[in-house]
Amino acid sequence: MRVALDTNVLAYAEGINGAAKKQEALRLIQQLPANAAHLPVQTLGELFQLLVRKAKRSATQARAAILGWRDAFPVIETSETVMVAAVELAASHPLGIWDAVILASAAEGDCRLLLTEDLQEGFTWNGVTVTNPFAKLPHPLLRQLLS
């Protein structure tokens, strides 16, 4: 089963929001089976912005982090098909365009789950279910994947 990682998972793994959240995010990522995690390219751009603006890293440091994530996981491109699907998704559901791009990318990448704290738990679109990987009771599909 494939899963897409949202920006907040990567940001926590980079240490944004403290050491405890960093350890939790890294533990989650390490528990995922090999080749299960995929990154919508949008998450890399958002992470760069967070690292520079919120974490006050230099652009060079942020670039190194982005390239490290890109090298570690397959990246799902934001194609024309993804963008059109995202526009349709944002027009028909209460989602911002960039969240819709991430969800549409996850669908394009044949992901079954989108791991994020930012969207509605359990929302399913085009076969992708949104779930909070840090919830006290993980989604059944995530529990299955991690077991």
Task: Give the CATH number, domain containing residue 113.
Answer: 3.40.50.1010
Nearest CA to 128 among 137, 93, 136, 44? 93
Domain containing 122 equals: 3-146
| Domain total of the chain | 1
Q: Phi first, then psi: what are they for 112, rounded to 5°?
A: -95, -30
Residue 113's SS3 state is strand
Q: What DSSP state is assigned to residue 114?
A: E
Along the chain (147 residues), what's the average pLDDT of each consecutive run of 10 residues?
Answer: 97 95 96 96 98 97 98 97 98 96 98 95 96 94 93
User: pTM for this structure?
Assistant: 0.95
pLDDT of residue 114: 98
